[in-house]
Chain A
Amino acid sequence: MTSVEIKSESKKIEDMDKEWEPKVLAFLCNWCSYAGADLAGIGRIQYPPNIRVIRVPCSGRVNPFFLIKSLQCGIDGILVSGCHPGECHYVSGNLVARRRFAVLKSLMEYIGIEPGRLNFSWVSAAEGEKFSRVVSEVVKEVKALGPVKRLVKGE
Chain B
Amino acid sequence: MSEPRDQIREHARRLLDEGKVEVIIGYEKGSVPLQSTPCFVRDADNVERLIWDSTCGPNLAKYLFDREGKTGIVAKACDARSIVVGIVENQIEREDVVVIGVPCEGVIDLKKIDAVLDGKEILEASMDNDKVSVKGDGFEQILSKKEFLCDSCISCRHRNPPVYDILAGDELEETKESDEFEEISKLEAKSPEERWNHFSKELGKCIRCYACRNVCPLCYCKECFVDETMPSWCGKTTDLSDTMTYHIIRALHIAGRCVDCGACSRACPEDIDLRALTKKVEKIVRELYDYEPGLSLEELPVLGIFEQDDPQEFIK
CB contact between A96 and one of B249, B280, B304 (< 8 Å): that residue: B304
B65 at the interface (CB under 8 A from A): no
Interface size on B, residues (CB 8 A): 44
By DSSP majority rule, is chain A's interface helix, strand, loop, or mixed? helix
Question: Is A107's CB within 8 Å of the partner chain B?
Answer: yes
Answer whether residue A64 sits at the interface, using C-beta atoms and an 8 A cutoff: yes
Query: Does B261 make an interface contact (CB < 8 A)?
Result: no
CA distance A111 to B292 in the complex (A): 22
Known: A86-B308, A102-B310, A153-B241. A107 touches B284 (CB 8 A): yes
Question: A91-125: which have CB < 8 Å to B?
Answer: 92, 95-96, 98-114, 119-122
List the one stretch of B21-29, B92-100, B164-172, B191-199 in contact with chain A. Answer: B191-199
> Knowing A102-B288, A111-B195 touch, does A122 contact B315 (C-beta < 8 A)?
yes
**Chain B 218-248 residues near chain A, CB threshold 8 A:** 225, 233-235, 239, 241-242, 244-245, 248
Query: Which one of A107, A113, A137 has the greatest number of beta carbons of chain B within 10 Å?
Result: A107
Cβ proximity bits A70-83 to B, threshold 8 Å, 1 near / 0 not = 00100000000000
Of residues 261 through 277 on chain B, the ones whose CB sits less than 8 Å from some CB of chain A are 277
Q: Are A98 and B310 closer than 8 Å at their CB atoms?
A: yes
Decide yes or no: A102 and B312 within 8 Å by CB, A109-B192, A110-B280, A112-B199 being known contacts.
yes
The CA-CA distance from A155 to B204 in the complex, in Å, is 13
Interface of B is mostly: helix
Q: How far is the CA of A103 from the CA of B291 in the complex (A)?
A: 13
CB <8 Å contact, A99 and B316: no
Question: B132 near A: Cβ within 8 Å?
Answer: no
Contact of A107 among B198, B242, B248 (CB under 8 A): B248
Question: A115–B316 Cα gap in the complex (Å)?
Answer: 13
Partner among A103, A111, A121 whose Cβ is within 8 Å of the Cβ of B284:
A103
Does B314 lie within 8 Å of A101, measured CB to CB?
yes
Question: Measuring CB to CB, which residues of chain B are less than 8 angstroms from any residue of chain A?
Answer: 187-188, 192-199, 225, 233-235, 239, 241-242, 244-245, 248-249, 251-252, 255-256, 277, 280-281, 284-285, 288-289, 302-306, 308, 310-312, 314-316
A-B pairs with lowest CB-CB distance, top 9: A112-B196, A121-B316, A95-B306, A65-B233, A112-B195, A153-B241, A120-B315, A106-B284, A112-B192
- 18 chain-A/chain-B pairs, Cβ below 8 angstroms: A63-B233, A64-B252, A85-B312, A96-B305, A98-B312, A98-B315, A99-B310, A102-B314, A103-B252, A103-B281, A106-B284, A106-B288, A107-B252, A107-B281, A111-B195, A112-B197, A112-B198, A151-B245
With A72-B235, A107-B255, A122-B315 already in contact, 12 other A-B pairs whose C-beta atoms are closer than 8 Å = A68-B233, A96-B304, A98-B310, A102-B312, A103-B285, A106-B284, A109-B192, A112-B195, A112-B197, A120-B315, A121-B316, A154-B239
